[in-house]
Amino acid sequence: MTSPDGLLGSVQSPADLRRVPADRLPELASQIREFLVTKVAKTGGHLGPNLGVVELTLALHRVFDSPDDRILFDTGHQAYVHKMLTGRQAGFDSLRQRDGLSGYPCRAESDHDTIENSHASTALSYADGLAKAYALKGERRHVVAVVGDGALTGGMCWEALNNIAASDRPLVIVVNDNGRSYSPTIGGLATHLASLRLSPGYERVLERVKESLSRTPLVGPPAYEVLHAVKKGLKDVLAPQPMFEDLGLKYVGPVDGHDILALESALVKAKRFGGPVIVHAMTQKGRGYQPAETDAADRLHGPGAFDPETGKPLAKPSAKWTSAFAEELVKVAGERNDIVGITAAMAGPTGIEKLREVYPDRVFDVGIAEQHAVTSAAGLALGGMHPVVALYSTFLNRAFDQLLLDVALHELPVTFVLDRSGITGPDGPSHYGIWDTSILGVVPGLRLAAPRDGARVAEEFREAVAVDDGPTVVRFPTGSLPAELPAVERLGDGIGAVDVLRRDARADVLLVAVGSFAHLAMDVAERLAGQGYGVTVVDPRWVRPVSPHVVALAAEHRLVVTVEDGVRAGGFGTAVVQALSDAEVSVPVRDIAVPVGFHQQGTRNEILAALGLTAQDVARQVTGWIAGVDSDHAGTVGTPTGQLRRPAR
């Protein structure tokens, strides 16, 4: 892997960038865009956002001295150009691949990366803390937070702004305003940002007048208030009143986000001010690449590998987990007028867009605000509706308190559909949906389903929205649907029913497989049968709470093995152990799951293989365990992914 030649190849650090003559910066910007399209076309990645921040990132690194000055990106998917300018051009051949360059800022890659944030609306809080730390230590360092307008729809931003505005610490907030998050930015904020027009020079004059008048007894303060009122009146005539002024923040802009010299001028002014300043940069997502500029859906926000000439994806279309949910959602909504959809800035990726196409008045996109989404859903449920909240699994982590106390405590019928559950691949550990089963296991009254194929997505979603006395969750992975896997027997009906996928005459091992791992379990069973063991494979369908049918089956076998794509700690395996203990069933249990940790990026199959979650690995482990069940060493057998345990009577 080598760096590109020419002007771009000569820029391997911010110091190199500052030596580039101003008249050659447009040439450099053009080379960066060409580089981005060429590289991301091969690996997939966040193309549109980075095409939009080329000039902005150039200006930032020419004005501020990274890494002494700290530049934070919110969210981190807009940091590709930053990586290119800080010595990592050669790594783009392995972008988002196993052992390759991360698709987000990564502290292990470079001192220029401060935070590894891929969840929006956090950078301002990080920046506030950094600025406080530098002030306490007497260090004269600048902190810059580059915040997308979509991120400003998140509540954490406004909590941070409230604190930042009350300080005098040097902190520059660059609002990257492209009118979009994944899709067009939602809400009144977006409308307001588009119209902000202020004169920072006027602000400084006003402050000097205020200081002068405040020294004049009696007359001064009233005169200032009159002057301030006149000023606000004039601004209301000339331009909309900005929200930032009311917070007490200085504002520079709007600035053309593709005019490097204008951006540099604005950033220099903000840097010299010495306190918190907003710089409002107007950018165009997908800038300079025609297929991205004309993509109305999301400006090629995060494509997979594509043809760089046309922007068209290289992968052939296939049936997706998300599509199976979206189709059933529309069908159910056609049967029930109380069904409404909620999402947080990702209507398309979560399938909610399909519902909006048919029933636009029954879909609510709240922007990047998962906490609000969940409590708003609670309000809808209180009002007699049945909300379906569709999120990526990783983003529900942010709204756990709202699910617990605003939904579950009130026993409200809200259905959560968690896309991208389990190991998701190239976006890395912050996007893995491996925490949901463990986290949600402590919520009283919550039922959680994990369908194994497309038919079960539809079936279990219908069962979920039929519940009217508490929250339900349906979780599934990303990617293409597997082949339908029919049951040979169903025990029970509705929630609590389990599907028996295989039952041998001998009852040596009970394999209880969560969701899409049912296919893996069937492969494992075939391998074990080849060695003479009798195996029963069960899909529990609803993994929270544990079905009594799973407990009854466990009592008939010599060994129980649970297999899931969530973390072991507090996962489904733990729940089975507890259920068997409560029922005084003393069969040994082995739980195979994802070890607790932040696991490296890669394809889903690469990561599962690295974690020992393949049919070959599982079969080999189970063979050893069942052979030793009756030996003196059956009490505890340790490996990184599991532990043999006998439930206490």
Tell me the catalytic residues.
285, 370, 398
Q: What is the radius of gyration, based on Cα positions, of the chain?
A: 28
Question: Other C-beta atoms within 10 Å of 21: how many?
Answer: 8
What is the three-class DSSP state of 454? Answer: helix
Distances (CA, A) of 612 to 235, 509, 536, 639: 64, 19, 21, 10
- In the chain, the amino acid numbered 458 is A
Q: Strand order of the sheet with strand 250-256? A: 70-74, 143-148, 171-177, 277-282, 250-256
Q: Under 8 Å CB-to-CB from 331, ≥6 apart: which residues?
A: none
Cis peptide before 313, with omega less than 30 degrees from 0?
Answer: no
Strand 250-256, strand 171-177: pairing: unpaired
- For 390, the enclosing helix (H) or strand (E) is strand 386-392
Total count of residues recorded for the chain? 649
The values of phi and psi at residue 97, to 5°, are -110, 165
Supply the DSSP symbol for 485.
-
Supply the DSSP symbol for 438.
H
* Residue found under tokens 């189970």: 622
Number of H helices, E strands in the chain: 27, 20
Where do the DSSP E strands lie in 393-534? 415-419, 447-449, 472-475, 489-491, 498-503, 509-513
Question: Other C-beta atoms within 10 Å of 647: how many?
Answer: 20
Q: Under 8 Å CB-to-CB from 259, ≥6 apart: which residues?
A: 55
CA distance 596 to 593: 9
* Residue found under tokens 């194994």: 452
- For 248, the enclosing helix (H) or strand (E) is none
CA dihedral 215, 219, 225, 227 (to 10 degrees): -90
What is the three-class DSSP state of 342? Answer: strand
Strand 415-419, strand 363-365: pairing: unpaired
Distances (CA, A) of 576 to 546, 570, 580, 628, 645: 6, 10, 6, 21, 11
CA distance 136 to 415: 47
